[in-house]
Structure 1
Amino acid sequence: MDWDKLRIFHAVADAGSLTHAGDTLHLSQSAVSRQIRALEDSLNTTLFHRHARGLILTEQGELLFDATSSMAKRLETAAARIRDSEEEVFGELRVTTTTGFGSLWLAPRLTRLYEKYPDLKIDLMLEERVLDLPMREADVAIRMKEPSQADLIRKRLMHIRMRLYASPSYLAKRSAPERIEDIASHRLICQNPQSAQVGAGANLVQFLMTHDIQSTLTVNNYFGVLQAVLHDLGVGVLPDYLTHDFPELVRILPDIESVEVPVFLAYPEELRQSKRVSAFRDFVQDEIVSYRKQMKDQEVS
């Protein structure tokens, strides 16, 4: 099969337009159209439905586009590995993690990574959806459970627990709950149990909800929960990794917490030799070691 025709087909399918694909490829619309017709003739099938508003893939076109998309991602991986210097770390690294962990723990620590590797370009993708690493939706993932996708290198970094916290100013106005039954008289701030999140957090919230809580505020990520707690809206369910960077948080009902939640770092097997991935992995591991030491010192003091 003609690789050049496949490249042009992929650009057309991605753009949905002969004109836009031609602009990307620096080809005329007629040249792109001829290549698509030649590819359809060689496959003896129709790849696009042609409409006034653009081009829509046929079922056979969808199958071919899936194949060319996979090829494109693998070519990107190969190019990235080729660009990796033997001694230097530079270029783009796409990192995915949850909104809470990425914004509250990881992002504030990236200064030290950039100080060491100023030419690195991090694309930090914060979302609860688990991106497909083998399909190159991201290069590295930090997730609150062990990845189930095949062909991944994975490392357990640490574990966290979900606990109850409030601000000192909130507690100055309202007496802190001393028993689990007292939680009913406080506003509970948490992630919606139905939203995408780790099961341990959802289970803790469901348990708390059985205690006749009258007022709640639900947010779809822990960054929002933290902001509400810091602004005295109530008692929040938050991950314990916040206590070092936000020491003003006061833990409520210390006997109430979730089960341990493992935190894993993962990346595709094919990026094992990537200098960028290695640099990021080592940076995160060093930060975890520093974080653990700081937490121990905090507990002793």
Structure 2
Amino acid sequence: MDWDKLRIFHAVADAGSLTHAGDKLNLSQSAVSRQIRGLEESLNATLFHRHARGLILTEQGELLFDATSAMSRRLDTASARIRDSEEEVFGELRVTTTTGFGTLWLAPRLPKLYEQYPDLKVDLMLEERVLDLPMREADVAIRMKEPSQADLIRKKLMMIRMCLYATPDYLADHAQPTEIEDIADHRLICQSTNSDQVGAGRNLVQHLMTYDIRSLLKVNNYFGVLQGVLNNLGIGVLPDYVTQDFPDLVQVLPDLESADVPVFLAYPEELRHSKRVSAFKDFVQEEIISYRRQLRENRKAD
């Protein structure tokens, strides 16, 4: 079977369009179409249903796409292992995590990682959608719950909680709440309960909403919530790890916190020996140890 034709078939099946596949492969639509026709003729099978909105795989096409997908994953794994030097860490590492954790905790710490490994190329994918690691949508994931996908190596990093925070300036201009009922007299900054977020954070916001909040600012990620808090707009619901980089924030109603949220790092079993993955995992764990140490010191000081 012609490997070039299989490669082109896989791109067309993945894109659902001859034009989009051609753009990805730097081939004309007619050239892609000829290769697909040639493959269908060699197999004596129709691989796509063609209609005005694009292409849909036939049953035979689905079988072939499953095979080419498995081949693609194995080739990606082989390439990753080949690129991993015995003594050096370099090349691309695709990391996925939530927008909040990625912007507020991980990204500010990446300079330390690049200082250690200047030839590393991190592709940081920040979204609430859980990417499929076994299907190689990413190499490493940091998620706010234990991954359920099979064939993953997972490591519990820490526990976090959602708490209420405000700036000293805001609290100087407004009466600081001493009871939960007082929250009704303040502007609450939070994620919408309809947005993707951890259940513990959603539950805390839903509980606060029962107190007839006077004014509200809803943002679809914690980075936006933090910006609202730092600009003295009100009291925000934020993960407690923000206090490491923003120590001046004041926790409001300290007894009011969400349930614990576990933070997990995970990666496919097949990348167990990847030096890029090991370097990133060690870096994150060292930063977590530093975070915990600082948290203990702050609690002792209080």
TM over 0.5, shorter chain? yes
Partner of 2:236: 236
Distance, in Å, in 2 between the alignment partners of 1:55 and 1:179 is 59
1:17 aligns with 2:22: no
Partner of 1:295: 295
- Preserved CA contact (<8 Å) 1:183 1:213: yes
Partner of 1:246: 246
Q: How has the CA–CA distance of structure 1 residues 20 and 3 changed in structure 2, closer, same or farther, with 3 Å as cutoff?
A: closer
Distance, in Å, in 2 between the alignment partners of 1:139 and 1:166 is 36
Distance, in Å, in 2 between the alignment partners of 1:87 and 1:178 is 56
> Percent identity among equivalent residues?
73
- Preserved CA contact (<8 Å) 1:161 1:239: yes
**One-letter identity of the residue aligned with 2:164:** L
Q: How has the CA–CA distance of structure 1 residues 161 and 56 changed in structure 2, closer, same or farther, with 3 Å as cutoff?
A: same
Q: How has the CA–CA distance of structure 1 residues 146 and 297 changed in structure 2, closer, same or farther, with 3 Å as cutoff?
A: same
Partner of 1:216: 216
Partner of 1:163: 163
Structure 2 length normalisation: TM-score?
A: 0.91
1:83 positional shift: 1.0
1:17 positional shift: 2.5
1:130 positional shift: 0.6
Distance, in Å, in 2 between the alignment partners of 1:245 and 1:89 is 28
Distance, in Å, in 1 between the alignment partners of 2:23 and 2:34 is 12
1:14 positional shift: 4.6
**One-letter identity of the residue aligned with 1:24:** L
Deviations 1:80-124 (A, max 9, x none): 111111111000000001111111111111111111110000001
Q: How has the CA–CA distance of structure 1 residues 137 and 41 changed in structure 2, closer, same or farther, with 3 Å as cutoff?
A: same
Q: How has the CA–CA distance of structure 1 residues 187 and 6 changed in structure 2, closer, same or farther, with 3 Å as cutoff?
A: same
- Preserved CA contact (<8 Å) 1:22 1:29: no
1:212 positional shift: 1.4
Distance, in Å, in 2 between the alignment partners of 1:186 and 1:128 is 29
Distance, in Å, in 1 between the alignment partners of 2:180 and 2:6 is 63
Q: How has the CA–CA distance of structure 1 residues 207 and 111 changed in structure 2, closer, same or farther, with 3 Å as cutoff?
A: same
How many residues align? The count is: 299
Distance, in Å, in 1 between the alignment partners of 2:19 and 2:187 is 56
Partner of 2:55: 56
Deviations 1:235-278 (A, max 9, x none): 11000001111011111001100111111000000000000000
Secondary structure in 1 aligned to 2:163?
Answer: strand
Q: How has the CA–CA distance of structure 1 residues 110 and 23 changed in structure 2, closer, same or farther, with 3 Å as cutoff?
A: closer
Distance, in Å, in 2 between the alignment partners of 1:45 and 1:137 is 30
Distance, in Å, in 2 between the alignment partners of 1:195 and 1:35 is 44
- Preserved CA contact (<8 Å) 2:18 2:29: no
Q: How has the CA–CA distance of structure 1 residues 103 and 59 changed in structure 2, closer, same or farther, with 3 Å as cutoff?
A: same
Distance, in Å, in 2 between the alignment partners of 1:296 and 1:165 is 19
**One-letter identity of the residue aligned with 2:98:** T
Distance, in Å, in 2 between the alignment partners of 1:24 and 1:172 is 60
Distance, in Å, in 2 between the alignment partners of 1:7 and 1:245 is 47
Q: How has the CA–CA distance of structure 1 residues 64 and 163 changed in structure 2, closer, same or farther, with 3 Å as cutoff?
A: same
**One-letter identity of the residue aligned with 1:264:** F
Q: How has the CA–CA distance of structure 1 residues 47 and 279 changed in structure 2, closer, same or farther, with 3 Å as cutoff?
A: same
| Deviation larger for 291-300 or 262-271 | 291-300
**Aligned-residue CA RMSD (Å):** 2.2
Deviation above 6 Å: which 4+ runs of structure 1?
A: 25-28
1:20 positional shift: 6.1
- Preserved CA contact (<8 Å) 2:10 2:69: yes
| Deviation larger for 145-154 or 208-217 | 208-217
**One-letter identity of the residue aligned with 2:78:** A
Q: How has the CA–CA distance of structure 1 residues 19 and 261 changed in structure 2, closer, same or farther, with 3 Å as cutoff?
A: closer
> For residues 59-208 of structure 1, what are the structure 2 equivalents within 5 Å?
59-60=58-59, 61-208=61-208
Structure 1 length normalisation: TM-score?
A: 0.92
Q: How has the CA–CA distance of structure 1 residues 175 and 68 changed in structure 2, closer, same or farther, with 3 Å as cutoff?
A: same
**One-letter identity of the residue aligned with 1:112:** K
- Which consecutive residues of structure 2, in runs of 5 or more, have no partner in the other structure? none
| Deviation larger for 77-86 or 3-12 | 3-12
Distance, in Å, in 2 between the alignment partners of 1:12 and 1:213 is 52
Distance, in Å, in 2 between the alignment partners of 1:44 and 1:135 is 29
Secondary structure in 2 aligned to 1:256?
Answer: coil
1:297 positional shift: 1.6
1:69 positional shift: 3.2
**One-letter identity of the residue aligned with 1:59:** T
